[in-house]
Amino acid sequence: MTARQLLTALTLLLAACAGPDVTHYAQKQPVLDPAVFFAGKSEAWGIFQQRNGTVEKRFHVVLSGQRSGDKFVLNEAFSWSDGSQSYREWTLWRSADNAWHGTAEDIAGEALGHASGNALHWQYTLRLPVDNKVIDVHMDDWMYLLDQHTLINRTSMRKFGFELGQVTLFFRKLPPDTPS
């Protein structure tokens, strides 16, 4: 096999591994607007699976989101199956090109996402504490709005291009009169 044939084969292999473009979901309903879905209170339940499929951790998240000027602030309080707790506060905004941007204390740089139809494709680098050190892990999130109250999120976690595991979450938007 020549170098050119090898390069062509590798290019085709990599292209075959590429996921769908978020615009594939443009006609899907209901339309997902993160600032609408996450406004107010919601809850999520999820799991982290190692790349072999073993469930390593389970978790519950209580979320609260509200507008703050031209930005949207989303607070997340995590309760993990090992008894630990963690917290994240996202600051999100939509740019003129309709892309979603976000920052949080444990996010390296800026998260970037695009919504289309009922889907949002969101990517960022999470600064993850592991064994008394912090490692940067690439997060590739796909969110799908099933109905006005239900969202599913599937995330691939990678380091140096190798998958470490998957996170799956189920979100439920709570009625406005739900107590804290």
Q: Token pair 């339309």 is at which residue?
A: 31
Q: Does some domain include residue 26?
A: no
Structure token pair of residue 100: 């979603």
Say if residue 8's pLDDT is above 70. Answer: no
Give, in degrees to the nearest 5, the angle at Cα 121 between 117 and 127. 155
Parallel, antiparallel or unpaired: strands 107-116 and 99-103: antiparallel
Phi-psi region of 53 (alpha: psi -120 to 50; beta: other; left: phi over 0): left
In a domain, 22, yes or no: no
Query: What pLDDT score was predicted for residue 88?
Result: 98
Domain presence at residue 179: no
Secondary structure string (H, E, C) spanning 46-106: EEEEECCCCEEEEEEEEEEEEEECCEEEEEEEEEECCCCEEEEEEEEEECCCCEEEEECCC
CA distance 58 to 167: 10
Mean residue pLDDT across the chain? 90
User: Domain for residue 2, yes or no?
Assistant: no
- Domain containing residue 131: 31-173
Domain with residue 64: its CATH number is 2.40.128.20
Residue 150 lies in a domain: yes
Cα–Cα dist 119/22, whole Å = 7
Residue 81 lies in a domain: yes
Q: How many CB atoms lie within 10 A of CB 90?
A: 21
Q: For residue 73, what are its two tokens?
A: 């602030």
Q: What is the pLDDT of residue 5?
A: 59
Could you tell me if residue 24 is inside a domain? no
> Is residue 49 situated within a structural domain?
yes
Q: Which of 76-85, 92-101, 150-159, 165-174 is predicted with the least confidence, judged by mean pLDDT?
A: 92-101
Number of domains making up the chain: 1
Query: For the residues 163-172, what does the mean pLDDT come to?
Result: 97
Give tens-digit pLDDT for 60-114: 999 999 999 999 999 999 999 999 999 999 999 999 888 999 999 999 999 999 9
Would the pLDDT of 16 be above 50? no
Confidence of residue 115 (pLDDT cuts 50, 70, 90): very high
